[in-house]
Structures are given as structure tokens and as C-alpha cells.
Amino acid sequence: MDWKALANRILDGGAPISREEALAVLKSSDDELLDVLQAAYLIRRNFFGKKVSLHVLKNAKSGICPEDCSFCSQSKSSTAAVEQYEMQSADEIVAGAKDAIDMQALRYCVVTSSRAPSESEMKTICDAAAKIKAQNPGLELCASMGFLTEEKARRLKEAGVDRFNHNLETSAKFYPSICSTHKHEDRVATARTVKKVGLDLCCGGLIGMGESLEDRVDLGMMLKELDTDSAPINFLDPRPGTGMEGRERLTPNDCLRTLCMFRFILTHAEVRIAGGRETCLRDLQPLSLYPANSMFTNGYLTTGGQDFAADKQMIEDAGFEIGHLVNA
């Protein structure tokens, strides 16, 4: 496959990448990897230049989810040793925004482990959102709180939330293998609701749970159909005490091929390197900046990660630059 020609065809307004071509990206050999990365970079550079947007997470309600997603250490079926606490106060959530700003984040992402936000959780997040936007108008705010009704989605938007995250995680076909308490179509419905009310949609997945390469292509194509604005791509870091305990991690090269596939499919969406970056990509982390234009910094919801100073150094050493400095 002429990878550069594929990228140029897409950039020139020709046919978008087909399922077969997306599968070919995932099946490409290690010898071709630098060519695939270079082609994905042509698309990334066209839409995002050399900018890397940083996102900082806040786990605002931890470890008490009634759902049974088998990869998740916060699920009801997990015995993983994670902190458990109810929804933090609006002031605690507001205080976290300052940390995000200190780490030059474009976006502050507030996450709760829940099936759907309760009325009191809605009130807390809306109060926090109004304060955060009043104090830091340059900071983008994302919420991730489970399933949304249209009415709740509208209230979040009115309160100042810019974006809502709700990952599909994997393909519709593979979804029953990882969760029994809700369906893939439920997740798709919330993603559509988010778009319907005019919130930005952040919708991605988790790779390496035993899904096939075709499942990864299905996920990419579904995210494109949903017109997601942002796609966080997580790599399974199997946690002790979860249903995925003991599963082998993806190789760094497979992670890179996967990021390239998402870049080819989701040409102008943010592709974010998310959980599992450090443990799966290891020393090849800097190469992920060629297809991806965004990353979480300073750790994840229940696990630590590379800190901001090391991420900043990595970005600069690789010749990229942090995309947005917040004036707040």
C-alpha cells in the first residue's frame, strides 16, 4: 500500500478511507510502520499543525459504579483496590481547575463513576461549571457522567459545560463480551443526544480487550458516523481485580498502528492518547504524537501516569508544542 498516496487522497477530498484500507493499516508490518506514521502525520499536520492539546482529569466520584464493565476498576464487579468516595463538592471540583491551568491544559475533564448523573450530582456539576467558567473563561470544560437525557444534556450546556465524554469503548459486536448491564446502543444514544443539544462530543474507546482488528475498524467507523469531535484512545492496562486481569498488553507498534487508523478515519477530530499510554507505548510514546494531537497529562482516574513536566519535555523534544496556554 502507498500510505502517503492514501493520505494525500483523503486530504485532497477524494474517497475517505475504506474499511479494507483501515484494516490494512492495522495489519501493516513493522517494516512499514514509519511510512504509516508519516502518512498519518500528513493528515494530523494539515488539521492541527504541531500542536498538542493537554487534558487534565478529575475523578469527582470514585469507585462506586453500578455497571459491570469488565475492564473497569470502578465497576461493581471489580475487586481492585481503588479509592471510593461520593461526589465531591462544587468547590473541590472548582479547585481542580486551577491544577489544570497550572499544567497548561486546554481542557479540564470532570468524571464521575456512575450509570447516569443523579439530580444532586447535576446540581453540583452545574454549580461548579458556572464558577469555573466565570473564573477561567479560557479553560474548556468537559464532563463525563454516564448516560444523559436530552434535558440533562441541555442543562449542562446552559451551565457552561463545553463537551461531554461518553466512550463507545469497542464495536457493537464485541460489546456484550465486556458488559452486561447496558448495551452498546445505549452508549450510542447518549452520544447522539450530546451532539443533538450542541455540546461537543468526546467519544472514544479502549483497545486490547480481546477484540478483533475488524472490531477496531467498526469502532472507528462508528465514531466517524457519530461525528465525534474528540476520540480518546485508551490501551488496556489490565488491572488486578478486574475481569481483564492477566490479559497481555498490546505491543507499542500495535498501539501506534491503531492510533494511525483512527487518524486516517477521524481526519479532523482530536485523537487523544489516553489511559495505558505509558505502560503500552513505553519508550515509543513520542511517536504517538505523529497520529495523535492530544493527550491526558499527569495520570488518569484511578492510576498514575507520566507527570506534566515529563510530558512537556517529551512534547518539546519531539518538536511539537503545547497547543493552548490558558489566560485565566
Binding site for ligand SF4 (CB under 6 A): 65, 67, 69, 72, 74-75, 113, 146
Considering the complex, state which of residue 96 and residue 275 has its C-beta at the smaller distance from ligand SF4: 275
Is-contact 202 142, C-beta < 8 A? yes
Instruction: Supply the minimum distance, in Å, between the C-beta of residue 304 and ligand SF4.
Output: 18
Instruction: Supply the minimum distance, in Å, between the C-beta of residue 26 and ligand SF4.
Output: 24
Instruction: Supply the minimum distance, in Å, between the C-beta of residue 137 and ligand SF4.
Output: 30
Residue 314 CB: number of other CB atoms within 10 A? 18
Cell of 190: 447518549
Distance (Å, rounded) from C-alpha 53 to C-alpha 37? 19
Cell of 63: 469507585
Considering the complex, state which of residue 69 and residue 315 has its C-beta at the smaller distance from ligand SF4: 69
Instruction: Supply the minimum distance, in Å, between the C-beta of residue 178 and ligand SF4.
Output: 9
For residue 262, which phi and psi values (nearest 5 degrees)? -65, -35
CA 292, 296, 299, 302 torsion-angle sign: negative
Considering the complex, state which of residue 80 and residue 328 has its C-beta at the smaller distance from ligand SF4: 80
Considering the complex, state which of residue 113 and residue 136 has its C-beta at the smaller distance from ligand SF4: 113
Q: Burial of 126 by CB count in 10 Å (0-12 exposed, 13-18 middle, 19+ buried)? A: buried
| Single-letter amino acid code for the residue at 89 | S
Instruction: Supply the minimum distance, in Å, between the C-beta of residue 301 and ligand SF4.
Output: 8
Considering the complex, state which of residue 75 and residue 285 has its C-beta at the smaller distance from ligand SF4: 75
Distance (Å, rounded) from C-alpha 174 to C-alpha 322? 36
